[in-house]
Amino acid sequence: MFGHIRCVLFDLDGTLIDSAADLGLAADEMRVARGLPSLPIEAYRAHAGAGARGMLGTAFGVTPEHAEFGALKEEFFDRYEQRMTRLTRPFEGVDQLLLTLTRQRIAWGVVTNKSRRFTVPLTATMSLFSAAGTIVCGDTTPHIKPHPAPVQEAMRQMNVSPAHCVYVGDDERDMQAGRAAGVATVAARYGHLGAGADVSRWLADAIIDSPIQLLNLFDTA
**For the chain, domain boundaries:** 7-18+88-217, 20-83
Q: What pairs with residue 188 in β-bridges?
A: 208
Q: State residue 156's pLDDT score.
A: 98
**Distance separating alpha carbons of residues 114 and 92, to the nearest angstrom:** 21
| 92-118: b (≥16 Cβ within 10 Å) or e | eebeebbeebeeeebbbbbbbbbeeeb
Q: Mark whether 13 is an active-site residue.
A: yes
Decide: 178 and 169 in contact? Cβ < 8 Å: yes
**Distance separating alpha carbons of residues 51 and 24, to the nearest angstrom:** 9
Q: State residue 219's pLDDT score.
A: 77
Q: Mark whether 78 is an active-site residue.
A: no
Catalytic residue among 13, 18, 28, 170: 13
Q: What is the pTM for the complete model shown? A: 0.94
167: phi then psi, degrees, rounded to nearest 5: -115, 130
Strand pairing report for 184-188 and 165-169: parallel
CATH architecture of 7-18+88-217: 3-Layer(aba) Sandwich (3.40)
Q: State residue 221's pLDDT score.
A: 47
Supply angle C-alpha 49, 179, 173, rounded to 5.
15
Decide: 57 and 174 in contact? Cβ < 8 Å: no
Distance of CA 219 to the CA centre of its chain: 25
Q: State residue 195's pLDDT score.
A: 57
- Pick from 203, 206, 204, 209: which is nearest to 217 by CA? 206
| pLDDT values of the chain reduced to their tens digit, one per residue, 221 residues | 888 999 999 999 999 999 999 999 999 999 999 999 999 999 999 888 888 999 999 999 999 999 999 999 999 999 999 999 999 999 999 999 999 999 999 999 999 999 999 999 999 999 999 999 999 999 999 999 999 999 999 999 999 999 999 999 999 999 999 999 999 999 999 988 765 678 999 999 999 999 999 999 997 54
Interhelix angle 20-33/69-83, nearest 10 degrees = 120
**Distance separating alpha carbons of residues 11 and 167, to the nearest angstrom:** 8
Own/partner contacts of 127-133, CB < 8 Å, gap of 24 or more, are 128/90, 128/94, 128/95, 128/98, 131/98, 131/102, 132/108, 133/7, 133/107, 133/108, 133/109, 133/157, 133/158
Q: Tens digit of pLDDT for each residue in 192-211?
A: 876 567 899 999 999 999 99
Catalytic residue among 11, 22, 170, 171: 11
